């Protein structure tokens, strides 16, 4: 009986921790945003985040979001400047976009590091479906991009 109760408590605790650590991504909207080192326009300006850039939401409070970028830097952005439309950034030296989610599928494009792509479909089987601003759609390996 004790062992069953302990197992049940551990299962609930693991589920709660997993739910609490779900990753949420958003993208910078139509206008670039100023990144601050604290949640205030009076804080030190860190840099300007370009439109479309994906960010991981760490915390949102009082109209500000603490976010992480693709290189792991943490900063604050005004939450109203973030949108739900998802994009990713290429983090590999180049991302290979394939016609389907298979290594042997024909190559439709090669995209350089730092290029932003629209997320068309979420991760499935280690692949993500993406769209380049020129209209090319293809599948890349998850490890080649960030923000998915």
Same domain, 37 and 55: yes
In the chain, where do the E strands start and end?
24-28, 33-36, 45-49, 54-61, 64-68, 74-78, 82-83, 87-90, 94-98, 107-112, 116-124, 127-131, 137-141, 145-146
| Residue 41, domain member (yes or no) | yes
Res 4: pLDDT: 43
Q: How far is it, in rounded angstroms, from Cα 119 to Cα 132?
A: 9
SS3 content of the chain, % helix, strand, coil (to 5): 15, 45, 35
| Residue 138, domain member (yes or no) | yes
Which of 9-18, 32-41, 48-57, 135-144 is predicted with the least confidence, judged by mean pLDDT? Answer: 9-18
Same domain, 102 and 138: yes
Q: Residues 76, 140: contact at Cβ < 8 Å?
A: no
Same domain, 31 and 78: yes
* Among candidate residues 83, 100, 118, the one where a domain is terminated: 83
Res 21: pLDDT: 57
Q: Give the C-alpha distances (Å, rounded to integers) separating 78 from 27, 32, 48, 106.
A: 12, 11, 12, 41
Q: Give the C-alpha distances (Å, rounded to integers) separating 101 from 28, 114, 127.
A: 27, 22, 6
* Among candidate residues 59, 83, 107, the one where a domain is terminated: 83
| Residue 103, domain member (yes or no) | yes
* CATH number of the domain enclosing 121: 2.30.30.40
pLDDT in tens, 128-146: 999 999 999 999 999 999 9
Q: Residues 51, 78: contact at Cβ < 8 Å?
A: no
Q: Residues 145, 130: contact at Cβ < 8 Å?
A: yes
| Residue 135, domain member (yes or no) | yes
Mean pLDDT estimate for the chain: 88
Same domain, 52 and 100: no
Res 22: pLDDT: 73
The domain in which residue 95 lies consists of 87-146
Domain count, the chain: 2
pLDDT band at 13 (very low <50, low <70, confident <90, very high): very low
Same domain, 53 and 66: yes
| Residue 4, domain member (yes or no) | no
Same domain, 74 and 100: no
- Mean pLDDT over 26-39 rounds to 97
Please state the φ and ψ torsions of residue 39, each to the nearest 5 degrees: -80, 65
| Residue 32, domain member (yes or no) | yes
Is residue 102 predicted with pLDDT exceeding 80?
Answer: yes
């Amino acid at each position: 009986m004790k062992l069953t109760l302990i197992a049940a408590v551990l299962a609930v605790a693991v589920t709660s921790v997993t739910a609490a650590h779900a990753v949420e991504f958003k993208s910078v909207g139509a206008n670039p945003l100023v990144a601050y080192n604290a949640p205030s326009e009076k804080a030190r300006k860190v840099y300007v985040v370009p439109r479309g850039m994906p960010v991981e939401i760490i915390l949102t409070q009082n109209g500000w979001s603490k976010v992480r970028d693709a290189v792991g830097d943490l900063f604050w952005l005004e939450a109203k400047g973030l949108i739900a439309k998802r994009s990713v950034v290429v983090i590999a030296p180049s991302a290979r976009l394939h016609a389907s989610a298979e290594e042997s599928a024909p190559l439709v494009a090669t995209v350089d590091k730092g290029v932003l792509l629209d997320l068309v479909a979420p991760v499935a089987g280690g692949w993500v479906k993406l769209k380049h601003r020129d209209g090319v759609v293809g599948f890349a390996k998850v490890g080649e991009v960030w923000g998915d």
